[in-house]
Chain A
């Protein structure tokens, strides 16, 4: 079955610390991969995406993610977290062609300590 797993429901880090959010997927073939961020009461904003090529992708707000095919993972990282990064983060996959039926993980809620 196709699925996306985000094993950490909640993560708390101190401001200035590094961050890594985990994402694993189960899919028939390598899909498109995304990370979205959702602030309270808001919709989802695209942070970054991976289609092909370089497995380390850069996104907005200083985030990056690394695709590891052997581990079916697409972990999100940030070297130094800011208080404004507190939000919920969603990993998602979509097929390479046809209707883009996104499959989302359950999300990781990030809390940032001052």
Chain B
């Protein structure tokens, strides 16, 4: 148990679907992150939220829409995705003043 829980673990969606990924952290951290992990590429930082405020959007296409209603929950809303968006999406959290991030187990997304 890492303290960061992601649901669902696996998701298959069509290009016209709308779905959401959920992340919940039970560590009392104030920063949360979305990363994309594709085969043969480094983990790509997508979004950062610090105290519920988005502090980083790493040039992510608008078909990915994050939401952070509180410091414990982070969502990634997906719509009209492309097959190249198929990847493992990882959520992480960290505490201000402590740089180490704690990761969830990820959601394996397949866009068909």
Q: A-side interface residues toward B, CB under 8 Å?
A: 4, 32, 34, 36, 41-46, 49, 51, 90, 94, 96, 99-107
CA distance A46 to B92 in the complex (A): 12
Report whether A45 and B56 are in contact in the complex, using a CB–CB cutoff of 8 Å.
no
Contact pick for B42, options A46, A96, A104, CB 8 Å: A104
Does B94 sit at the interface, judged by CB under 8 A? yes
Report whether B105 and A46 are in contact in the complex, using a CB–CB cutoff of 8 Å.
no
Contact pick for A99, options B2, B43, B48, B100, CB 8 Å: B48
For chain B, residues 59 to 112, give those with C-beta under 8 angstroms from any C-beta of chain A: 90, 92, 94, 99-106, 108
B55 contacts which chain A residues (CB < 8 A)? 99
Interface size on B, residues (CB 8 A): 26
CA distance A104 to B94 in the complex (A): 16
Given contacts A44-B90, A99-B55, A106-B40, whether A51 and B99 have CB atoms under 8 Å apart is yes
Map CB proximity to A onto B13-24 as digits: 1 under 8 Å, 0 otherwise: 000000000000
Contact pick for B103, options A4, A44, A96, CB 8 Å: A44
Contact pick for B99, options A4, A36, A100, CB 8 Å: A100
Report whether A45 and B31 are in contact in the complex, using a CB–CB cutoff of 8 Å.
no
B48 contacts which chain A residues (CB < 8 A)? 99, 101
Would you give the shortest CB distance from B67 to chain A, in whole angstroms? 18
